[in-house]
Amino acid sequence: MTSKPSTSEARAHSVSHVSSTGMKGSSTSNSSRPFRPCADCTCSPGLLSRQGRRASLFLRKLENSRRSSSMLLNDPKGAGGSSAAGNGSVYSCDSLCAINREVNTTERLLKLRQEMKKHDLCCYIVPSCDEHQSEYVSLRDQRRAFISGFSGSAGVACITRDLLNFNEDHPDGKSILSTDGRYFNQARQELDYNWTLLKQNEDPISWEDWCIREALEMAKGLGNKDETVLKIGIDPKLITFNEYVSFSRMIDTKYKAKGKVELVPVDENLIDSIWSGFETLPKRPCNELLLLRYEFHGEEFKDKKQKLLAKLSNKSGSATAAPAKTFIVVALDEVCWLLNLRGSDIDYNPVFFSYVAISEEETILFTNNSFNDAISEYFKENDIEVRPYEQIWQHLTKVTAQASSTDHTFLIPDGASWQMVRCLNVPEGNSQATNTAAPPNYRMIHSPIDVLKSIKNDIEIKNAHKAQVKDAVCLVQYFAWLEQQLVVREALIDEYRAAEKLIEIKKTQRNFMGNSFETISSTGSNSAIIHYSPPADNSSMIDPTKMYLCDSGSQFLEGTTDITRTIHLTKPTQEEMDNYTLVLKGGLALERLVFPEDTAGSSIDAIARQFLWSRGLDYKHGTGHGIGSFLNVHEGPMGIGSRPHLMNFPLRAGNIISNEPGYYKDGEYGIRVESDMLIKKASSKSKFLKFENITVVPYCRKLINTKLLSEEEKTHINEYHSRIWRTVVHFLQPQSISYKWLKRETSPL
């Protein structure tokens, strides 16, 4: 799930070690849409007039804001305090319906097409990832957001240059944004008129099909008498070698276009070449490293290295094959897990930019990040050599040129970039990389670290429970505070300020290192946007008469959390209650499931959807994803959903995985109930597995329709709420609003 990084103006809350900044487009965009009067948006007085007296309250406050130019709602005592309503949120008359700033991409696309002409490209592809194929990227790598204005974490932008247009100064063409169902609503809102949305798994063609078809259409229009090859370009660091092979195979086999269309590497990233003409080009982060203590990781580097080398030995091939010598660790979270280090180079993800080359003889860390004397000593004790980040490419090329296929073998992960394979194909000193198939001096495998880090050890599991309790205390305090402000004090609080209040509460917890993603704080129709992020300015005010969805996660030294609760603060409709209960029933059914070892998550996805399906309803996202241990909130390789690759990675004891069915009614409301579950053996001698819900945050009682629950489900909920009460109550003051809120919400159905 979760974006969770966004795109408009940069905002930073530097929280302890891991920052939690978000970026939404650009505050310095070239142009913005003209001012539009308010048209019943959620910030309008009409929609905020929850009752007659609320309309009067809102208008009185609005009038006061005109007199004082701003209105401050402040609650210095925090959750459960007794001071005036609010949390430091400031509203002015103009802020309620200010200009809606959006990126106008016309000039950006023009400049990009001019660069495409220099490289003789008919099409250029802009992925979302960085060179490590990260899901969430730093501001420096948000190229797709820069060119398209779309801020979601997943998607590919494809831009053509019309070869039939001979106006060299103003080349034109088409541009599409391809993304998945989590982001359809968001993309429709953020893309301007230059872009067409291509819906993954709904539209009949993929973005790869679109690029090839557009190239062939241009070739047809040109007559192509001289048989010129039409080039589709991409930065070879931003696409995996396997994706390159698949794309090329599609050209050759599906479209029979070999010799007519070709996917070509463009070493100079074309977005980087134009970025500074519109905005200040962000610098690549390079923050100081953090060394985890044993009490937080539970397994020393030397033990992890030996375990990894043993796995690599099994993957080196047949007995006659050359032994594996060096494995290249590409994924940033795998580097962190292996070395027991953490960083803060990517918002919400405690990772740092690096590669590792590891063998029996040596361990080389390629990074530019600084580190203290203690880490320097740690490197010496573990024979870890540190080299500059950029030297990874030189290292690969040099070792390949010097070694024969019989005395040195590279193992590279299947997530390795096309550029990595090109380096391994190039003799030292030869600047012309080839596109040939993998030579004998290296083999491509699935990284063993991907599976190893997903299986938590006893210390990581113990810490995960601690992290869940800490986060639960914060969420209980937050929901109690929100209800007090909106219902009892009738305050006006917007989504963004509410999310800021939540992080303020989390900061009181020891070892809190920041959010694990940008908080989804969404009211009413905004909650129907699966990966919604409230803007810092002009955020919708929370309406207590509508559904409120809060999806938040934390990074503690003890572990990572990802929890969603949907609540209603007044009187929900029957439809809202029924659909909430259907979602809840699906999550409960999955949680109770006992299943054989080696079961893939794709085999049990329907368990969570069955009750929605019975009413003709569904949701456009997976049901569960792995969660790291003070690492990425989305962790592979396993998951619960329909993606085909999940068949290759069964669920294992020690995995921590989310359980997050939902339902979203466009334009009205959204529902998601997400808890984190530990997979464990059903019994000591059994070959079956089961789930343990380690999240301890209650469900919303007002939204549960008990008539739709079986006796087993009622018992399940009551026992869960009883466990929450016993676990969390010790951290609350008996007279506080948080204590009273928790007691009410966990009382038996």
pLDDT above 60: residue 647: yes
150's tokens: 């779309």
Which of 61-75, 315-329, 425-439 comes out lowest in average pLDDT? Answer: 61-75
| Pair 592, 734 in one domain | yes
98's tokens: 């200010």
pLDDT above 70: residue 279: yes
| Pair 320, 440 in one domain | yes
Q: Could you tell me which residue, 632 or 44, shows the higher pLDDT?
A: 632
pLDDT above 90: residue 12: no
Question: 622: which residues sit within 8 A by CB, 6+ positions away?
Answer: 1, 605, 639, 640, 641, 642, 643
Question: Has residue 77 been placed in a domain?
Answer: no
Question: 320: which residues sit within 8 A by CB, 6+ positions away?
Answer: none
Amino acid making up residue 29: S
If you write DSSP's letter for every residue of 391-420 in order, what string do you get?
A: HHHHHHHHHHHHS-TTT--EEEETT-BHHH
**In the listed set 218, 240, 275, which residue is the last one of a domain according to the structure?**
275
pLDDT digits 0-9 by tens, 540-555? 999 999 999 999 999 9
| Pair 665, 634 in one domain | yes
Q: At what angle do helices 737-745 and 458-483 cross, to 10 degrees?
A: 110
| Per-residue confidence (pLDDT) for residue 323, from 0 to 100 | 54
**d(Cα 483, Cα 743) in Å, to the nearest integer?**
14
CATH number of the domain bearing residue 172: 3.40.350.10
Question: Has residue 74 been placed in a domain?
Answer: no
Q: Which residues of 240-375 form beta strands (DSSP E)?
A: 261-265, 290-291, 326-329, 341-342, 355-358, 363-366
| Pair 263, 323 in one domain | no
pLDDT above 80: residue 315: no
Average pLDDT over residues 587-595: 98
* pLDDT band at 407; cut points 50, 70, 90: low
Residue pair 684/467 in contact (Cβ under 8 Å)? The answer is: no
| Pair 717, 662 in one domain | yes
If you write DSSP's letter for every residue of 705-742 in order, what string do you get?
A: -GGG--HHHHHHHHHHHHHHHHHHGGGS-TTSHHHHHH
Distances (CA, A) of 298 to 125, 334, 335, 617, 636: 42, 16, 16, 43, 20
pLDDT above 70: residue 231: yes
**d(Cα 215, Cα 223) in Å, to the nearest integer?**
12
Question: Has residue 316 been placed in a domain?
Answer: yes
Q: At what angle do helices 241-249 and 418-425 cross, to 10 degrees?
A: 90
| Pair 369, 441 in one domain | yes
**d(Cα 392, Cα 551) in Å, to the nearest integer?**
38
**In the listed set 397, 417, 447, which residue is the last one of a domain according to the structure?**
447
pLDDT above 70: residue 440: no
If you search the block for the tokens 């294992």, which residue do you land on? Answer: 652
Residues β-bridged to residue 670: 664
pLDDT above 70: residue 422: yes
**d(Cα 309, Cα 243) in Å, to the nearest integer?**
27
Helix (H, G, I), strand (E, B) or coil at 312: helix
**d(Cα 270, Cα 284) in Å, to the nearest integer?**
17
Query: Is the torsion defined by CA of 77, 82, 87, 90 positive or negative?
Result: negative
Question: Has residue 100 been placed in a domain?
Answer: no
CATH number of the domain bearing residue 639: 3.90.230.10
| Pair 525, 423 in one domain | no
| Pair 484, 631 in one domain | yes
| Pair 406, 463 in one domain | no
45's tokens: 């007085």
Question: 738: which residues sit within 8 A by CB, 6+ positions away?
Answer: 79, 80, 476, 477, 480, 481, 732
Question: Has residue 73 been placed in a domain?
Answer: no
Question: Has residue 216 been placed in a domain?
Answer: yes
Amino acid making up residue 89: S
Average pLDDT over residues 503-515: 98
pLDDT digits 0-9 by tens, 21-36? 333 333 333 333 333 3
| Per-residue confidence (pLDDT) for residue 441, from 0 to 100 | 76
Element holding 555 (H helix, E strand) = strand 554-556
369's tokens: 């990040």
3-state DSSP percent of the chain in helix, strand and coil, to 5: 35, 20, 45
Residue pair 282/138 in contact (Cβ under 8 Å)? The answer is: yes
Strands across the sheet containing 656-659: 594-596, 688-693, 675-681, 656-659, 624-626, 635-640
Distances (CA, A) of 280 to 259, 277, 551: 40, 8, 32
Q: How many domains does the chain have?
A: 3
Q: Could you tell me which residue, 438 or 685, shows the higher pLDDT?
A: 685
pLDDT above 80: residue 433: no
| Pair 649, 733 in one domain | yes
Q: Are strands 554-556 and 624-626 parallel, antiparallel or unpaired?
A: unpaired
Average pLDDT over residues 38-54: 33
Question: Has residue 253 been placed in a domain?
Answer: yes
pTM more than 0.95: no
Q: Could you tell me which residue, 4 or 153, shows the higher pLDDT?
A: 153
Element holding 122 (H helix, E strand) = strand 121-126
Radius of gyration of the chain (CA): 27
Residue pair 728/720 in contact (Cβ under 8 Å)? The answer is: no
**d(Cα 93, Cα 62) in Å, to the nearest integer?**
6
| Per-residue confidence (pLDDT) for residue 314, from 0 to 100 | 79
Please give the share of the chain, as a percent, with pLDDT higher than 90.
Answer: 75
Distances (CA, A) of 243 to 120, 240, 310, 415, 417: 22, 5, 28, 9, 9
pLDDT digits 0-9 by tens, 354-396? 999 999 999 999 999 999 999 999 999 999 999 999 999 999 9
Q: Are strands 548-552 and 563-567 parallel, antiparallel or unpaired?
A: antiparallel
If you write DSSP's letter for every residue of 129-152 in order, what string do you get?
A: --TT--SS--GGG-HHHHHH----
Residue pair 15/515 in contact (Cβ under 8 Å)? The answer is: yes
If you write DSSP's letter for every residue of 476-520 in order, what string do you get?
A: HHHHHHHHIIIIIS----BHHHHHHHHHHHHTTSTTEEEESS--E
Query: How many degrees, rounded to 5, is the angle at CA 451 between CA 449 and CA 457?
Result: 95
| Pair 317, 215 in one domain | no
| Pair 264, 323 in one domain | no
Domain, as residue range, for 412: 290-447
Distances (CA, A) of 427 to 208, 376, 407: 31, 34, 16
Average pLDDT over residues 694-710: 98
Closest-CA residue to 648 (of 638, 658, 657):
638
pLDDT above 70: residue 316: no
Residue pair 251/263 in contact (Cβ under 8 Å)? The answer is: yes
**In the listed set 222, 249, 275, which residue is the last one of a domain according to the structure?**
275
> Distance between the two ends of the chain, CA-based, in angstroms?
30
Question: Has residue 179 been placed in a domain?
Answer: yes
